[in-house]
Amino acid sequence: MAQIRHIAIENFRCIEKLDWHPCAGVNCLIGPGDAGKSSILDAIDLCLGARRTVQFTDADFHGLDVTAPVVITITIGDLSDALKSMDTYGAYVRSFDPTTKTIDDEPEAGKETVLSVRLQIGSDLDPVWSLVSDRAKAQGLARNLTWGDRVRLSPTRIGVLADSNLAWRRGSVLNRLTDEKADTSAALASAARDARRAFGDLADAQLGETLKIVAETARELGIPAGDKLKAMLDAHSVSFSGGTIALHGDDGVPLRALGVGSTRLLVAGLQRKAAKESSVLLIDELEHGLEPHRIIRLLGSIGAKEMPPPIQAFLTTHSPVALRELRGDQLWVVRKLAGVHKLDLVGTTDPIQGTIRSQPEAFLSRSVVVCEGASEVGLMRGLDLHFVASGRVSLNALGAVLVDAGGVNKIYGRANVIRGLGYRCAVLRDDDVLPDNAQEALFTFNSGTLFKWNANYALEHALFYLVSDAAVHRLLARAEELHETDLIEAHIKGASGGTLTLADCRGTMTPQIRETLAKAAKSNKNPWFKTVSAMEDVARDIVGPDLQNAHADLRNVVEALFGWCASA
């Protein structure tokens, strides 16, 4: 059951250079769009796939520079005895040390025997596949895997057109489930005489074990394929070649008529059961066509929760559901840096795993703003709505995600995890209660960006002290809409020590009234705007429209923060 131990890519599409040692089980690539995740899967497929030729263009070269060849080298371990045969591949077997992650050209005792396969494309656009070995090169030898071994090692690619795997064609997962083969000659000879029905009877006998496995897999995954599957001639096949024999349900309808999600889910489940020589599965955008509960089922079907892992899977996703289901040691953050691509394993420490579970969207973004609490998240969302209505680009379009830290004591538990993985990260916090100084120093030292209100200000202080008089009156009116007037009255009296009433606060605005309202709004019992929705409405309807009239201290923080989001 072969496994990929190392992947090296040079000058392929957006990837100038990549050097990666993937894990044995699920390798899920995450990160912002256009980081090269799909290109990594394409590179694996092109290098190891069983194909005699591929059409390449200048666009497959990094920066369109055809003078620098595309080179994709994949080292494979956990080889079968046939692949370790000295008679067949003796000049090409190498050794891999799993502890140091080093590959030596000479096989060594105590290390894993591996083979390295290389795909190289030059300016003539002609692909050349070969095995890599310094010893063989010194002897003037050159060869590739045999065609049979290439077919056995070829990964299963589940894309939008995954239904090609639901017919007995070259490279399909059905041909890997068992050693059964269908003899189509008798049926094809009588094709003009109701060939579909005639062959159906023959195929049921010839492919019975495979049909049983498919039916059981479909049932386990909740796919409505019927209880008694049949192998019949596909009426839509234009020639009697690969794909002529296809899976049909018990009602005679080809299983390729299933929805995209069901097809991808079934093929993923079948690949798990077909894992003999090749155990490599490639799924780009695994959530495509699948509801959340079926995303979870797909991950379960490929053994994401099992130890040891049954197959090696390379996935890409932008689904928060998938991130919540996977562990940190199954997630790789892909980053495109100057001259090199880097993949970092997220990890499984408590702060990391907790952040993945509670804030998976942060790991799928370009920029992350970690907010002290729900009211800061609401403020940002409301201001964003106001700015979008004024013609600005939204935070969503900029790839910025807002994360609720759940309090000042947790803010850097989130922010330092996210920043440590290379994400562009900022913090928005109050200044009335200070966070751990060492944690904040670590964040800023690692190029994290800090935004905060004036000294000793909470968000409520920033609002009631720094907006215009008219906006303060609108904030007070909104508080009355959200809460009972008696409650607002009690808060004001308590905050002022009984010296002010609600009626006093509706009149001429004074520094004392502003201070009282800020303190009252922060009341521990029924605070005025502490929920995301309440603060979002306040920011959209009152704070945003008043920014031009507000104090520069408020306006500058808001503009700097939104400017940071836009500068990614």
> Residue 511, Cβ neighbours under 10 Å: how many?
8
More confident of the two residues 250 and 61: 61
CA distance 560 to 553: 11
C-alpha distances in Å from residue 293, one per residue of 216, 299, 349, 359, 434: 19, 10, 26, 19, 41
More confident of the two residues 540 and 177: 540
CA distance 2 to 19: 20
More confident of the two residues 365 and 169: 365
For the stretch 382-418, pLDDT in tens is 999 999 999 999 999 999 999 999 999 999 999 999 9
C-alpha distances in Å from residue 330, one per residue of 296, 301, 360: 15, 15, 14
CA distance from start to end of the chain:
43
Q: Which two tokens stand for residue 137?
A: 């090169």
CA distance 319 to 29: 11
C-alpha distances in Å from residue 501, one per residue of 464, 470, 481, 508: 17, 18, 17, 13
Q: Write down the pLDDT at residue 46.
A: 96
More confident of the two residues 478 and 186: 478
Stretch 493-512: mean pLDDT: 95
C-alpha distances in Å from residue 275, one per residue of 152, 175, 270, 281: 10, 11, 9, 9
CA distance 333 to 364: 9
For the stretch 464-485, pLDDT in tens is 999 999 999 999 999 999 999 9
Provide the pLDDT confidence category of residue 240 given band limits of 50, 70 and 90.
Answer: very low
Q: Does the pLDDT of residue 519 top 80, yes or no?
A: yes
CA distance 238 to 243: 10
- Asked whether the whole model's pTM tops 0.75, one would answer yes
Q: Where are the domains of the chain?
A: 1-155+278-358, 165-273, 365-568
Three-class SS of 59-76: HHEHHHCCCCCEEEEEEE
Q: Does the pLDDT of residue 213 top 90, yes or no?
A: no
* Contact (CB, 8 A) for 372 and 409: no
For the stretch 190-211, pLDDT in tens is 544 455 556 666 667 777 888 8
Task: Please identify, in words, the CATH class of the domain defined by 1-155+278-358.
Answer: alpha beta
For the stretch 345-373, pLDDT in tens is 998 888 888 888 888 999 999 999 999 99
C-alpha distances in Å from residue 202, one per residue of 167, 174, 216, 230: 16, 17, 21, 10
More confident of the two residues 425 and 350: 425
C-alpha distances in Å from residue 252, one per residue of 211, 248, 295: 14, 5, 28
> 3-class SS at 245?
strand
| Residue in this structure with the two tokens 């990837």, named with its chain if needed | 15
Q: Write down the pLDDT at residue 193.
A: 46
Stretch 169-196: mean pLDDT: 58
> 3-class SS at 152?
helix
For the stretch 286-328, pLDDT in tens is 998 888 998 998 899 888 999 999 889 999 999 999 999 999 9
More confident of the two residues 189 and 281: 281
Backbone angles phi, psi at 157, to 5 degrees: -105, 120
